[in-house]
Structure 1
Amino acid sequence: MTDVRPAVRVDGLGEAGVLDALFHSDQGGHEQVVLCQDRASGLKAVIAVHSTALGPALGGTRFHAYADRARPEEAALRDALNLARGMSYKNAMAGLEHGGGKAVIIGDPDLIKTEELLLAYGRFVAALGGRYVTACDVGTYVADMDVVARECRWTTGRSPERGGAGDSSVLTAFGVFQGMRASAAHRWGSPDLGGRTVGVAGVGKVGHLLVDLLVEAGARVVVTDVRDEAVRRVLSAHPGTAVAASTDELIATPGLDVYAPCALGGALDDRTVRLLTAGVVCGAANNQLDHPGVEKDLADRGILYAPDYVVNSGGVIQVADELHGFDFARAKEKAALIHDTTLEIFARAEAEGVPPAVAADRIAEHRMAEAGTR
C-alpha cells in the first residue's frame, strides 16, 4: 500500500528548495504543495494547489521528462507551481466554480508509465480529499485517467465508457479557434479567418484539431512540430498544408497573420517577439509569456496577444462539466463564450491603456478576491 502522506523531500530537492519556491518565488502564493514518491512503482510527482477560493482546485496531470537531468525535481516543482497558478486564472476567467491546481509526474512517459505508477498517483490525489481534481495534460491521456480513477473519484477526463467527457483536446481547440475569431474581429474588423495565414507551432493533441478548424474556415495554414509523425498526420488529413522546418522559420514567415503556439510554455520570449511577422498571437500552449514584460513588448510592436489561459480554457470547461454528468452540447455552448470573453478583455485593455494580458489578470484576480470575501 502506498504511503499517501505528503513526502518530506524528493531526491535532489531539499526542504529549503521547496520553501523558497513556495513562499518566495514570483509565482508564489500557493495554498499547498504535495511531493509524492512511491518507490515500488517509481512514481515521483508534484501536486500544487494554488487556490481554492472559487472551489476545488482543478487542473491536469503533466507527465514529462525534464531537460535538467541533474535536478529534474526542481524543474518539475517550478513547472507545477507556474501551471497551478495559471489554472486559477484560467478557471476564474472561464466562469467555473473551481480554483487552480496542477500535477507533474516526473519522467519519460514512454519509458516509465505503468498501471502501477498511475494507481499510486491516484492514491496520492485521493488523499487530498477533493481539494484537487485531476485531468489529462501533456503526456497523459483518457486511458490514463481511467486507471487513476480506479483509486481516486476526483478524476476527470475519463473515457465516455467510464462516464467521462473523453478527450478534452476537442473543446480546447474549439476555444482557441473562438479566441482567434475574436482576435481577428478586434484586429481586422471581422471574425472571418478565411484567407488568413495562420502558423501553428505544435500539432499534437490540440494543435492538429485546431488545424482542422482553420482549414474548414478557409485559412491558409503553416505548421511545424519536432515530431515528424505529428506533421505527417496533418498532411494526411490536409495535403495542402505548408510545413516550416522549425519554429524560427514559422514565426518569420512572410505574410503570417496569426501565430498559434500550441506546444510547451515560454514560446514568447524577447527573441521571438523581435522575429514575429504575425499581427496576432493566439494559441493553445500554457504560460506562453517567457517572463514579465513580454506582454508589453508585444503591445509595443503592435502585436495583439490573446491571453493563453483565456483562449485555451475549453478543455477545462469540458472536464469540469464531467463532474455534473457530462453533456457535450452544454460544454460546447459554454466554451463558445470564449469569443465574447476575449473581446471583453481587448476592450478593457484599450480602456485602461494596458496589454490584454494585464487586463485579463485584473479580471481574474477580482473574481478570486470577490469569492474569497464571501
Structure 2
Amino acid sequence: MNAPVARERLTVSEPSVFDHPEFKNHEQVVFGFDAATGLRTIIAIHDTRLGPALGGCRMWAYKNDAQALTDALRLSRGMTYKNSLAGLDLGGGKAVIIADPRTDKTAGMLAAFGRQVDRLGGTYITAEDVGISSDDMEIVAGETRHARGTKATGLGDPSPYTALGVFVGLKAAVAHQFGSEDLTGRIVAIQGLGHVGMYLAEHLHNAGAKLVVADIHKPSVERAVSEFGARSVDTKKIHAVEADVFAPCALGAGLNDGTIPELGAPVIAGAANNQLADERHGLELKKRGILYAPDYAINAGGVISIAIARPGTEEAKVRDKVIAIGQTLTHIFERAAALDLPTQTVADQIAEERLEHSRG
C-alpha cells in the first residue's frame, strides 16, 4: 500500500466551519478518518428537504484541508440545486477524500470510506465523481447499501449519461445563441478529457463539430486527436481559444477574474461543477454577451441516471429524462432573457421555488 502523502493541515484559531464563506446553512458536515488506510474524508450534507442527500465522492490531492472543506461545502450546495432542478426527490450532499487518486488510492481506503458513509444511515447517498471510477464505487458498495452508480443498483457508470445531458444542453445553448442547434462546423473547446469529457468529445465529433482539447493527462489528449481529429492546446490556454463553445469539463472555479476577460467563445456549456469562482461572475458573463449554461443544470444527467435507475429499469426511461435537460436549459435561457437576469440567477430561482414548496 502506498503511504498517503503528507499535506498541509488547516490551522484553526476559532470555530471555522460555521464561519466559512461557503457554509450556507448546511445541515451536517462530517470529518472522517481511518488510521489503518490513511483515509481522510469530509462529507457535507447541505439540504434534505426533498429527500436523502445524494452526491458523488471526489478524490483529489488537495493542497490542504481548508481547500478540501471549501470544495465539499460548495459541491454539496450545488447538488441540492442540481437535484431540485432535475425534479428529483433528493437533497444535496458531497464527499471528498483527501488523497491523490493516481498514487494513494487503495481498496482498503475505498472500503473505509464506504463504512463512513454507512454510519450516516442513509442521510447521505454516495456515487462516483472526479478521481473515483465505477469500479471504485463497487468496492464502496461492498460496505454500504447507500451507494449508487453500481451494477447492483441500476445502470452502472453514470458518466455516459452526464455526457449525454451536457451534449443536449450544449445544443440548446447553441440554438439560443446562434438560432440553430446544428453543430456542423462549430468549434468546441473542451477543457478536461476525463470520463465525461471524452464521451462528450465523441458526441460532438459525431455531430460534426470541430474540437480543440486540453488535459493534464497526455494519453487522453492523444486519443482525442487520433479518434476525433481534435487539435490540442495547453491547459492554460484552452479557455482563450477562439471557438463557438467553451466546454469546461475539469475542476471548478475556472470562470474567474483572470479567465473571463480572456474567454474566446460566446457560449459556455460544460460538465464541470462550480464553474463560477463567485456568483458575481455570472453577471460578468452576461455583461459580455456570453451565454452560460448553469453547471448544475447541464451536468445533471449522471445524477438522474443513478437516482431513477433500478435493476430492470429500461435505459430508454433514463435517457428520455436526461435528454429533457435540453428543454430545462431552453426554459432557463428564455426566462433569463425575459427578466434580463444572469442565467445562473434564474436557475437558482427555479430550484429554490421547488425547495420552498417541498415538505418540511
Post-superposition Cα deviations, 1:207-239, rounded to whole Å, max 9, x if no partner, equal 11101000111111111111111101212322x
CA contact (8 A) 1:156 1:322 kept: no
**Could you say which residue in structure 2 is the equivalent of 1:229?**
219
CA contact (8 A) 1:200 1:207 kept: yes
Identical-pair percentage: 46
Q: CA deviation at 1:197?
A: 0.7
Within 5 Å, which residues of 2 pair with 1:1-374? 12-13=9-10, 19-66=15-62, 68=63, 72-158=64-150, 160=151, 162-238=152-228, 240-248=229-237, 250-254=238-242, 256-323=243-310, 326-373=313-360
TM-score (norm 1): 0.91
Larger deviation, residues 101-110 vs 317-326: 317-326
CA contact (8 A) 1:251 1:272 kept: yes
Q: CA deviation at 1:14?
A: 6.7
Q: CA deviation at 1:204?
A: 1.1
The number of residues matched between the two structures is: 354
Post-superposition Cα deviations, 1:55-111, rounded to whole Å, max 9, x if no partner, equal 100000001111x2xxx2221111101000000001111111100000001111222
**Could you say which residue in structure 1 is the equivalent of 2:4?**
none
**Could you say which residue in structure 1 is the equivalent of 2:5?**
none
Partner letter of residue 21 of structure 2?
S
Partner letter of residue 39 of structure 2?
L
Distance 1:299 1:58 in 2: 31
Distance 1:52 1:325, change over 3 A: farther
SS of corresponding position for 1:21: coil
CA contact (8 A) 2:154 2:311 kept: no
CA contact (8 A) 2:22 2:73 kept: no
Partner letter of residue 129 of structure 1?
G
Q: CA deviation at 1:253?
A: 2.5
Distance 2:18 2:346 in 1: 26
Q: Which runs of 5+ in 2 are unaligned?
A: 1-7
Distance 2:82 2:170 in 1: 17
CA contact (8 A) 1:156 1:323 kept: no
Distance 2:101 2:285 in 1: 35
Post-superposition Cα deviations, 1:42-65, rounded to whole Å, max 9, x if no partner, equal 111000000101110000000111
Q: Which runs of 5+ in 1 are unaligned?
A: 1-10
